Amino acid sequence: MIDIMIRCKDLVVIDQIGSLNEWFLKCPPQGKEKHWKDGRSAKETAKHWVYTIPQPYKEILELWKLKFNVCSPEYVTTFDKNGGNGRNHDLLILAENEDKESVVISVESKVDEPFGDTISKTIKAAEKRKMDTPNSKGLNRITDLRMALFGKEDDNQLELKYQLLTAVAGTIAEAKKHKAKSAIFLVQTFISDEILKKKHLQNQNDLDSFITLFSNSKYTEIPSDQLIGPFRITSKTKHLPDDIDLWIGKFDVEI
């Protein structure tokens, strides 16, 4: 049975996705065929979302009583003024609550893929780009994100995974665009007997390290199957307002 939520490219409801093949043709992962494999997050996301909504996702949001309206894979959000790449959501979902208020949901999918490089490595790469291209604004982006999300820059942040900063920023920025008062960032982890448990554990540790600093140690972990929050960022920008309630959660899907 096909779920009534519209799957489409770039939130354009007339450009609908009705099959696994259309999902790949219209919204391929960044690595194209290289990342489109059974057991990897891009294709597993398509397989589990193209016709229905995974039950663990429904359960983590059950108390919110949301109506899920539109879903777009590989959707890109601009979250600052520095140009370059935006936040690439594995899934961006537009929903509404019982009061007909908009709620924006971003889903980051993982099997055992990491959350990218640390802030420290990202800074070093940005410094190299600036040497080669003086107009590069990569360092500005990193500073702006750290100030917006944490209110300061300090060495405790350097080993955090930079992808988690852009994920949160992209979720908040998209909520602003749709005039939503609430935004939800979810990590969807696919579980199987073949998963590399060491990498899965590392991802959990990276999530916990991020939430510890982001919440000023109010939370020290992101447990499975529940939302924590709300959080508000400390320093607003043009794209990132400080009056949106952000919730963060994690759920597992067996494959």
Cα four-point dihedral sign 190, 196, 197, 200:
negative
Query: Which residue type does 118 have?
Result: T
Strands 182-191 and 102-110: parallel
pLDDT in tens, the chain (255 residues): 457 899 999 999 999 999 999 999 999 998 899 889 998 999 999 999 999 999 999 999 999 999 999 999 999 999 988 877 889 999 999 999 999 999 999 999 999 899 999 999 999 999 999 898 888 888 999 999 999 999 999 999 999 999 999 999 999 999 999 999 999 999 999 998 777 778 888 999 999 999 999 999 999 999 999 999 999 998 788 899 999 999 999 999 998
User: What's the rounded Cα separation, in Å, for the pair 237 and 79?
Assistant: 9
What is the domain partition of the chain in residue ranges? Answer: 6-113+164-254
What is the spatial distance between Cα 77 and Cα 166, in angstroms, rounded to a whole number?
10
**Looking at 37-149, which runs of residues are DSSP E strands?**
67-77, 87-96, 102-110
Number of other CB atoms surrounding residue 200 within 10 Å: 17
The SS3 call for residue 121 is helix
User: In whole angstroms, what is the distance from residue 74 CA to residue 190 CA?
Assistant: 18
34 vs 27: CA distance, rounded Å: 14
The residues that bridge with 186 in the sheet, in sequence order, are 107, 249
pLDDT in tens, 113-151: 999 999 999 999 999 998 988 888 889 999 999 999 999
**CA quadruple 4, 7, 10, 16: dihedral positive or negative?**
negative
